[in-house]
């Protein structure tokens, strides 16, 4: 059974911070089919369109019939352990810091044999296992095996924690305390064992709805944060930047405007200032220090979450400016992901459909309850996802974009 992760001791300020290292990250282009699956928590392998057999590792032709029609297809997640080892010695600097490292060979139920990372609670050869595709610290997809049934504290397995961004014993910054997400997020994080939850609030003297229930959560601390002010963001980073292990950016600004409205450009500028420029300010202030703390103990910096509108992926005319702003955020998040990768920091984008809040009052259901969005973010952190689609609208758009992005565009606003 996994030993529960102890609450980290206070760090000696004189001791050196371990520099982040990454596991080997070279992959063939075909192997990024696994990255696509892992990013959204799916389990897919190449499957031959002609003979129907699954194959692994990633290939260009089916070894059974030589068809090149090999597409990544959802596969059953079961398997049986054939053999295992515990690597004690390696020449790779990343793994050298994480030995002993348990790996195994698994006969997948769908056919092929895979070398996998083996969770500490898995039994020996012959055991049944549940497989998943995870993104490792380098952001690359890897096969991971866990026991079929849950075991207490299994999320604390040191190898598993390298594949996830579990909030347990970590300190989190929620950037917009006035938004509808702050309270459910803080509640969920608290429940997940977060050590401390900083909640950014602009103009602290102005009271807001959820102030009292937020304050009531043990470990929540309000901090001054005006996302439209570079100085405010920088000041906060100087104060708590080195204490933030997960940053959840909830910055948003929803104002309906028609493209041909006289003041639309001003509305757009303001929306951009509150969203994409806010993200940029946060990235500049918090990015470097988070990147440097990616290996700072068992609870070092691990993830950056952006809560985005799914309409950033395809414009919704009713919220055209909002869509455009979030499209810009998405682009910036990809840049940020690249810049944070050397630190092993995962950038997670949670794409949500319209929230069940006042600004989306005119939108018909289904809408996303803020609590559902918060729970999805937590689930994504614990499972180590990269792209999360929250709510029926977002899932619908994800599926349709995958199928035919032009159809989504033509049908928008109808």
Partner 1 sequence: MVFSRARQSYDGVVLAVPVTVPYQRYSIETAHWWMGKALRALADGAGISHRDFDGFSVASFTMGPDVAVALTQHFGLSPRHIDHVPMGGAAGIVSLRRAARAVQAGDADIVACVAADTNRVDSFRSLLAGFSRFSQDAVYPYGAGGANGSFALIARYYMDRYGATREDFGKLCVAQRDNALRNPDALMKKPLTLEQYMSARAIAEPFHLFDCVMPCAGAEAFLVMREETATSLKLPFVRLLSAIERHNAFAEDPVQVRGGWVVDRDELYGMAGSAPGDMDFVQTYDDYAVISMMQFEDLGFCAKGEGPDFVRQHTFTVDGSFPHNTSGGQLSVGQAGAAGGHLGITEAIRQLLGTAEGRQVKDAKLGLVSGFGMINYDRGLASAAAILARAS
Between CA 120 and CA 141 the distance in angstroms is 20
> How large is the C-alpha radius of gyration of the chain?
22
Looking at the Cβ atoms of 102 and 291, the one nearer to partner 1 is 102
Looking at the Cβ atoms of 17 and 35, the one nearer to partner 1 is 35
Looking at the Cβ atoms of 55 and 349, the one nearer to partner 1 is 55
Looking at the Cβ atoms of 87 and 289, the one nearer to partner 1 is 87
Shortest distance in whole angstroms from residue 74 CB to partner 1: 19
Shortest distance in whole angstroms from residue 96 CB to partner 1: 8
Instruction: Assess contact for 116 and 143: CB atoms under 8 A.
Output: yes
Shortest distance in whole angstroms from residue 134 CB to partner 1: 11
Using alpha carbons, list the distances in angstroms from residue 113 to 42, 83, 106, 224.
18, 11, 5, 53
Nearest CA among 389, 397, 304, 390 for reference residue 343:
304
Shortest distance in whole angstroms from residue 29 CB to partner 1: 10
Shortest distance in whole angstroms from residue 163 CB to partner 1: 12
Q: What count of other Cβ atoms lies within 10 Å of the Cβ of residue 150?
A: 11
Looking at the Cβ atoms of 71 and 85, the one nearer to partner 1 is 85
Shortest distance in whole angstroms from residue 88 CB to partner 1: 5
Q: At what angle do helices 276-292 and 230-240 cross, to 10 degrees?
A: 20
Between CA 384 and CA 388 the distance in angstroms is 10
Which residues would be at the binding site for partner 1 (CB under 8 A)? 23-28, 31, 56-58, 63, 82-92, 94-95, 101, 103-105, 107, 113-117, 125, 136, 138, 140, 142-143
Looking at the Cβ atoms of 55 and 250, the one nearer to partner 1 is 55
Between CA 250 and CA 178 the distance in angstroms is 10
Q: What count of other Cβ atoms lies within 10 Å of the Cβ of residue 6?
A: 10
- Could you give the dihedral angle defined by the CA atoms of residues 333, 336, 340 and 342, in that order, rounded to the nearest 10 degrees? 110
First to last CA, the chain: 54
Strand-pair category, 171-174 with 196-201: parallel
Shortest distance in whole angstroms from residue 167 CB to partner 1: 26
Looking at the Cβ atoms of 85 and 404, the one nearer to partner 1 is 85
Looking at the Cβ atoms of 163 and 271, the one nearer to partner 1 is 163
Nearest CA among 108, 106, 104, 105 for reference residue 53:
108
Shortest distance in whole angstroms from residue 117 CB to partner 1: 6
């Amino acid at each position: 059974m996994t030993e529960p992760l102890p609450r980290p001791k206070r760090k000696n300020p004189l001791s050196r911070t371990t520099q982040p290292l990454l596991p080997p990250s070279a992959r063939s282009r075909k192997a990024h089919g696994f990255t696509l699956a892992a990013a959204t928590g799916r389990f897919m392998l190449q499957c031959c369109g002609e003979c129907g057999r699954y194959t692994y590792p990633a290939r260009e032709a089916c070894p059974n019939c030589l068809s090149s029609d090999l597409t990544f297809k959802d596969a059953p997640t079961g398997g049986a352990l054939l053999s295992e080892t515990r690597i004690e010695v390696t020449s790779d600097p990343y793994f050298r810091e994480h030995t002993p490292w348990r790996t195994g060979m698994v006969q997948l139920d769908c056919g092929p044999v895979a070398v996998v990372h083996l969770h500490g609670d898995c039994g020996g050869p012959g055991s049944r296992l549940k497989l998943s595709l995870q993104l490792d610290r380098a952001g690359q997809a890897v096969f991971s095996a866990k026991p079929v049934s849950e075991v207490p504290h299994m999320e604390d397995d040191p190898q598993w924690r390298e594949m996830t961004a579990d909030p347990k014993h970590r300190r989190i910054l929620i950037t917009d305390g006035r938004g509808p997400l702050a309270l459910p997020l803080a509640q969920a994080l608290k429940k997940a064992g977060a050590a401390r939850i900083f909640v950014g609030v602009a103009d602290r003297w102005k009271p807001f709805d959820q102030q009292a229930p937020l304050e009531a959560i043990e470990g929540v601390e309000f901090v001054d944060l005006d996302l439209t002010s570079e100085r405010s963001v920088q000041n906060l980073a100087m104060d708590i930047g080195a204490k933030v292990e997960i940053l959840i950016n909830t910055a948003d600004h929803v104002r309906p405007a028609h493209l041909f409205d006289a003041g639309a450009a001003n509305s757009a500028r303001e929306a951009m200032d509150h969203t994409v420029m806010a993200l940029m300010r946060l990235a500049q202030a918090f990015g470097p220090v988070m990147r440097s703390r990616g290996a700072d103990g068992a609870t070092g910096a691990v993830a950056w979450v952006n809560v985005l509108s799914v309409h950033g992926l395809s414009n919704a005319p009713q919220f055209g400016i909002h869509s455009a702003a979030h499209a810009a955020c998405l682009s910036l998040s990809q840049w940020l992901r690249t810049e944070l990768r050397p630190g092993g920091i995962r950038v997670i984008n949670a794409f949500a459909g319209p929230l069940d809040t006042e600004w989306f009052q005119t939108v018909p259901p289904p809408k996303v309850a803020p609590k559902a969005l918060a729970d999805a973010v937590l689930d994504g952190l614990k499972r180590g996802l990269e792209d999360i689609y929250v709510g029926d609208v977002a899932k619908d758009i994800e599926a349709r974009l995958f199928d035919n992005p032009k159809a989504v565009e033509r049908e928008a606003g109808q």
